[in-house]
Structure 1
Amino acid sequence: MDTLQTINDVPVLMCAAEGGTIAGEREALDFIGNASYQGAEWAVIPVERFDEAFFRLSTRVAGEIIQKFVQYRVGIVVLGDISRHTAASPALRDFVRECNRGRQTWFLAGTEELRERLTRGSA
């Protein structure tokens, strides 16, 4: 079950690890709608919820999904270990590094890292 939490005065929708797979724009819009409805500024989605195609940049799935979040002004956090994906793809590793420099899309290992990010006022 998805839960709305406030972390350092920032409303965050913590999405459950169980549930449907995010494979494209349609599923992304469902998450965006839920986050917006609940008043969340960020949607935190466990890595397990993403289709494998998300981590292959050549499919453009990641770009399509992230673009929807940007368009609707909801931050997205991909939460969990993606090391097997980044080890296999220098392009993905670079993409993750660039995203993590920004203020809209983060790839984070755990909730403690999320708390630190939101504490620093990066949100």
Structure 2
Amino acid sequence: MTIRTIQHNAVTLARVESETVLITDTESALDLMATVQYQTQSRCLIVDSNAFDARFFDLKTRLAGDILQKFVTYQVKLAIIGDFSIYSSKSLQDCIRESNQGRDIFFVRDEREAIAKLSR
């Protein structure tokens, strides 16, 4: 795992890149939040979708809800980069659309879009 700091519009963002799954449950999400905040002082994370356990994208498991609630509770903004059109679940697409209308959690196509969403 590598963590890179990005400064944009006076906001410090943390870009987390990993070849392996980093977030498998709420504990691993909390660990990542703590590690990033300690290393970068940032409360805004950009993470690739492949860093999440595949169960995250199956809303029936409730994993996404539990993990995303931790980010909101601890006031850490999150942008997840990926191609979410590959998921056919209407409920997941509704969740993504609703999240993108908020202020804390974003599902985006690329790093540039993540930076724009998190630094506004």
What TM-score do the two structures reach when normalised by structure 1?
0.88
Q: Would you say how many aligned residue pairs link Structure 1 and Structure 2?
A: 118
Q: 1:65-99 deviations in whole A, cap 9, x for unaligned?
A: 111111111101111212112xx100000000000
Q: Which runs of 5+ in 2 are unaligned?
A: none
1:107 maps onto 2:100 in alignment: no
In the other structure, the counterpart of 2:72 is: 70
In the other structure, the counterpart of 1:31 is: 32
What TM-score do the two structures reach when normalised by structure 2?
0.90
SS at match of 2:80: strand
Aligned-pair Cα RMSD in Å: 1.4
**Is contact 1:31–1:43 with CA below 8 Å preserved after alignment?**
no
In the other structure, the counterpart of 2:90 is: 90
The answer to which of 96-105 and 18-27 deviates more is: 18-27
Deviation at 1:62, TM superposition (A): 0.4
Q: Which runs of 5+ in 1 are unaligned?
A: none
In the other structure, the counterpart of 1:56 is: 58
SS at match of 1:3: strand
**Is contact 2:80–2:114 with CA below 8 Å preserved after alignment?**
no
Deviation at 1:23, TM superposition (A): 1.1
